[in-house]
Structure 1
């Protein structure tokens, strides 16, 4: 099985994802260019990396959502297959309406880059099953537009359906209800602002992020 890492103009965490998948989890990652119109047939999951797609012009992720490959990413997600968006990837998935809500400028209007303590709010998803419910984990954040927002009705739906996967212990950006990561109602699409790919080796300061990748890789292998 192959794991597709989508590359947009301005992506800068694509290689980080590639190395985690190849060197830590020993699966086969492949890069898929944003200009492609179809994903390879043998793709097990799609990953949308962080960075600054199209320079974050207009609004983070607003241009990337129109990239040719996104039509097939939507089809892939619609078939119940796993899609993970990290940081800019989260922004792209909300702009593409694969996830509810949106990401705004950080409340303090400054870029934030730091280690961040998180709480695992739902460990029953394909992306979080290697964590303990309520566990505290550490992953870095690095963003200027990480302020997650949705209306009250959507927030209540997220709570009722247990779609909130990760929250901040100390909110770095103003996100509503301290939200750091969510899944769609079906549970096969996840977006998050923290960077698990930067917390997947001891030499980088910890391996809490590796368990997120292990969750959906092992879940896919069990379904083979």
Structure 2
């Protein structure tokens, strides 16, 4: 799911809650566990990354900076703030998942109307958006991939598959820098993180190969149902 669409956290995070993990510990362990899967998916999309090295490097700087700030916020804000903020973030993520097709069509229309040369790595507006998404991803992370695909799709005229390849790199770096801080400064459930890491590595390869064939409507329906369940669990 993370490799193809993003939003995999809307499945793994509620699963950890269902097994009794406190919200902050579940989020930290989930982020650490998803790092290998992020780069597994990026490796699976390596052919689509051809010719995008400079773009990926420049955008990565803003993702790393944003992810660092987001992780610091998570570690320093009280746990009660996380409980209050995350339901809102999940609801926002669900809205983004639902409207993603419309965003994609809007982006395609803009690309068609623009028909002009574009900056290889975007510009200040894109960089600010990537940074803000990094902050969001470092703090919680669900649907950061959806946000990135929407922004990159508007900024560049490349195919969705090439945009998705860069998205996997950026999301992986956000998770990676956050995971480093979490391991150094917080408590991680290594059992949960290890199981998620194993599943995410396998899922990254499967997603890169066959996930694009899944009916997007069905996938979004699953995400919405699980996300609603997570909100109910957090507010209970």
- TM more than 0.5: no
Q: Which of the pair is proportionally richer in strand?
A: 1
Structure with larger Rg: 2
- Normalising by the residue count of structure 1, what TM-score does the alignment of the two structures yield? 0.30
Q: More relative contact order in 1 or in 2 (CA 8 Å, sep 6+)?
A: 2
- Normalising by the residue count of structure 2, what TM-score does the alignment of the two structures yield? 0.29
